[in-house]
Structure 1
């Protein structure tokens, strides 16, 4: 009878140890370098009511020795420190090892976010540049999700000629 409590304790701890062990193994084989993500295009999509919709095209480069399989994508885009657009897609795919792929993610921009951006831009000078931030993830299960981040400044094009 003294083995009963230790056996039930083992039954309680075994699943926990298994999950921790799998988590440790997945961290050993995860991608070493972060993904490189660039915004390469926007295509208008039909919207509903007071929203604008776009298909955001992202070029994702994988500088690692292991391909990244995914079954979903999520992203958030902020301009000038304020959230602007967000979107998700359940598209599956793969970013090959030392390769790249272009993803299309539909995003929505509410009329209220557009108004807030317009209000914030009213004091913006084109020479300053417009800071942006892109955050997202390629989802592939509990331990295989890969997050990405990109930020920079959108520079206003310089005038090409002078007015007389």
Structure 2
């Protein structure tokens, strides 16, 4: 008598096969869902905002009616994905008054977990500088006599345009103090 290698019940073999496929499907489900999400972030993970800081101010040129400064902004990416900075706009206020504004179209790649320095040329009128300096000196003399000690408060506001086309807008606002070496 020949013995068959097939199970005695075709239905029992089919149910074991189906349960194995179901277990395989359930194990692969998270991978399938991750693949379907594409570039969107997962609901349990969130990306942090870019960090922006004023790292330097340089006087570039003094003209008849305006003064040109170069601001250097430090942009830090605390995320594990790279992005591209397409352009940056900024306004600098000193002691609450608009001091200078400008825009830069210098493209730079921002690596994951990296930082870059972005130069932005800003312009201010002679009248804004003269008025600010006189106001600061008068305030210092009134409060401290001839020895000025109070730092300048600044606010830097604007927006970064990110991505290849620059359509992703990231607004920012940074505040701090500038201590002048007098």
Superposed structure 1 runs of 4+ greater than 6 Å apart: none
TM-score between the two structures when normalised by the length of structure 2: 0.62
Q: 2:86 aligns with which of 48, 61, 71?
A: 71
Tell me, yes or no, if the aligned pair for 1:34 and 1:148 is still in contact at 8 Å. no
Structure 2 residue 137 is the aligned partner of structure 1 residue 115: no
1:150 aligned residue = 174
CA RMSD of aligned residues (A): 2.8
Q: Give the secondary-structure state (helix, strand or coil) at the position aligned to 2:81.
A: coil
CA positional deviation for 1:133: 0.7
Find the aligned partners of 2:108 and 2:125 in 1 and give their Cα distance: 29
Find the aligned partners of 1:96 and 1:34 in 2 and give their Cα distance: 14
Tell me, yes or no, if the aligned pair for 2:87 and 2:166 is still in contact at 8 Å. no
CA positional deviation for 1:71: 1.4
CA positional deviation for 1:70: 2.1
1:134 aligned residue = 156
Structure 2 residue 51 is the aligned partner of structure 1 residue 44: no
Name the stretch that deviates more: 135-144 or 70-79.
135-144
- If asked which structure has higher relative contact order (CA below 8 Å, sep 6+), I would say 1
What is the CA deviation profile of residues 24-67 of structure 1, one whole-angstrom value per residue up to 9, with x for unaligned ones?
xx9969x8323222222233333543111022111111112322
Matches within 5 A, 1:12-31: none
Find the aligned partners of 1:96 and 1:47 in 2 and give their Cα distance: 36
CA positional deviation for 1:136: 2.1
Q: Give the secondary-structure state (helix, strand or coil) at the position aligned to 2:127.
A: helix
Name the stretch that deviates more: 39-48 or 55-64.
39-48
Find the aligned partners of 1:135 and 1:34 in 2 and give their Cα distance: 15
> May I ask how many residue pairs the two structures share in their alignment?
133
User: Unpaired segments of 5 or more residues in structure 2?
Assistant: 1-38
TM-score between the two structures when normalised by the length of structure 1: 0.67
CA positional deviation for 1:88: 0.4
